[in-house]
Amino acid sequence: MQYTHLGRTGLLVSKLCLGTMNFGPQTTEADSFAIMDRALELGINFFDTANVYGWKKGEGWTEQILGRWFAQGGGRREKVVLATKVYGGMGDWPNESKLSAYHIRRACEESLRRMQTDHIDLYQMHHVDRETPWEEVWQAMEQLVREGKVLYVGSSNFAGWHIAQAQGEAQKRHFMGLVCEQSLYNLNARMVELEVIPACQGLGLGVIPWSPLAGGLLGGVLQKIEAGRRASERLQRDVEKYRPRIEAYETLCASLGEAPADVALAWLLHNSAVTAPIIGPRTLEQLNGSLRALEIQLDEAALQRLDEIFPGPGGTAPEAYAW
């Protein structure tokens, strides 16, 4: 396994992050345990979850699965850089969502209880909250850090100016602020290249791409459909919308002798701004296969061809849209 620093911190994390969103709804608890055990064997030490995962409001189903896995002992908790998130609705009563100090504190306590741990290594804001002032957000996060319940704070789904604004306010308070941003980023979704990634690079934040395979679109979907495997309705719609791109992409991957999913991950890892793409395996087979991406070196010709198939926004702002 390869490791890198999380943003400007001294914390070392694996260059692949284990996403747990499938644990519970799509992957049984026993299989989830096996995947997490195997991840540790492979050297993956960075696990990502969220209090809303499991999609049963207020239950934190996925966090509970992690908690029962940690409770088995064997150094499991000590080996994991544990990341979870706050923002989503955890109930129907007022103040059970978003980023008020009230909800941040309560959500943190509940995540700690579900995951059977005394601290969260990386506490990420799942979305920006335009209705809560940064002085309130940072005061709440600072208190959690002082109490040892949170070590680092990150963001997810922020715009570039949100990141800059958050960091400016944190600096006023002499607080470290954000150390990473988790964004939708893959070959077919490159909008963050305009301003989010430059903001992260300028302010020392690591970039953690979610949905690196575009929900399966970049995972060899045409090959799988031809083999008789049924795609979801959403994925079928995406296939028809982007069929020429996907056909060209899978042809390129075949010429490289690599699996489409591995090429998609390798392309992200080629970007020095990227800390670790989030892989969300439903099975042990998918987890084991992901490691190939760390070995792939894409040459200039391959990178250029990928840019032709999946054109980005034209670079960084403002040059991407101005002179």
The reply to whether 321 belongs to the active site is: no
Q: What is the pLDDT of residues 54-89, one digit of tens each?
A: 999 999 999 999 999 999 999 999 999 999 999 999
Of 3, 53, 185, 242, the catalytic one is: 53
- Measured CA to CA, the distance from residue 158 to residue 282 in angstroms comes to 27
- Report how far apart, in Å, the C-alpha atoms of 278 and of each of 66, 92, 191, 207 are: 17, 30, 18, 11
C-alpha 218/C-alpha 268 separation (Å) is 12
210 Ramachandran zone, left/alpha/beta (phi>0; psi -120 to 50): beta
Could you tell me if 273 and 209 are in contact, meaning their C-beta atoms sit under 8 angstroms apart? Answer: no
Ranges of residues in the chain with a pLDDT under 70 are 228, 230
Q: Which of 277, 127, 256 is nearest to 213 (CA)?
A: 277
Residue keyed to tokens 């893959």: 186
pLDDT tens sequence across 88-118: 999 999 999 999 999 999 999 999 999 999 9
Domains, the chain, ordered by start: 3-215+260-297 (3.20.20.100)
* Assessment of whether the complete model's pTM goes beyond 0.85: yes
Per-residue model confidence (pLDDT) at position 236: 86
